[in-house]
Amino acid sequence: MELYSYFRSSAAYRIRIALGIKGLEHKIVPVNLTTGQQRGEDYLKNNPQGLVPALTLESGETLAQSSAILEWLEEAHPDPSLYPQNLISKAQHRALCQHIACDIHPLNNLRVLRYLSGTLKQEKTQVDDWYAHWIHQGFIAIEIALGDLETEFSLGNNPGMLEVFLIPQVYNAYRFKVDLSPFPRIVTLDSHCQKLAVFAKAHPSCQVDSPVEERP
């Protein structure tokens, strides 16, 4: 499989984590979002949506949109599962993932931030305030949900789909210097995940297209 990825894309980061947890071999194909490579003719032939990630399967088909790719991965490669087995718990787990994917990430992605700073001519401090506001608003519900978590990860001894969605968002919060002190449970869960090899390998600083100055 080939994963079309950008090192700082939250959505691509999700797929890198999930592929790692499931132990699936894949090749990373970098797509530079800052130079508009995702809108190039060659890339659009493969993924007409012009976004990352895209996952080209061994059979030749290409899947787009991180949520759709993750659901395909879960169904095509169910072991290990990224969801709880109980149907109610599974729905609640999925709801938190969608909260991140639909209510936090779209407000803070590159296109929105560029529109704020470019077209609307907002100052950097205003853009950063925008980013922090929506992180704080979104993380409140997740922090409350994690209050019921009595284990190290959302699936007991193992991370699940919640971590797949959450950890990239935490990375972005740190990158934009958002104060996460109101969210100690989220910070702790992130700390647990960073100790796992699959999360370390998927981290933006470990990607081939990561600038040297961003690598540890």
Number of domains in the chain: 2
pLDDT of residue 126: 92
CB proximity list for 187: less than 8 A, separation 6 or greater: 170, 180
DSSP 8-state code for residue 30: E
pLDDT of residue 52: 95
pLDDT of residue 108: 86
Same domain, 92 and 76: no
Residue-range definition of the domain harbouring residue 8:
2-80
Same domain, 145 and 62: no
DSSP string, 151-209: SSBTBBTB--HHHHHHHHHHHHHHHTT---TT-HHHHHHHHHHHTSHHHHHHSGGGSTT
Tokens representing 113 are 């931030």
pLDDT tens sequence across 118-156: 999 999 999 999 999 999 999 999 999 999 888 999 999
Q: What percent of the chain has pLDDT over 70?
A: 98
Better pLDDT: 208 or 87: 87
Same domain, 65 and 105: no
In a domain, 15, yes or no: yes
* pTM summary value: 0.92
Sheet with 62-64, edge to edge strand ranges? 27-30, 2-5, 54-56, 62-64
* Contact by Cβ (8 Å): 160, 84: yes
CATH number of the domain encompassing residue 151: 1.20.1050.10
In a domain, 213, yes or no: no
Q: In the predicted model, what is the mean pLDDT of the chain? A: 93
Same domain, 148 and 132: yes
Same domain, 100 and 38: no
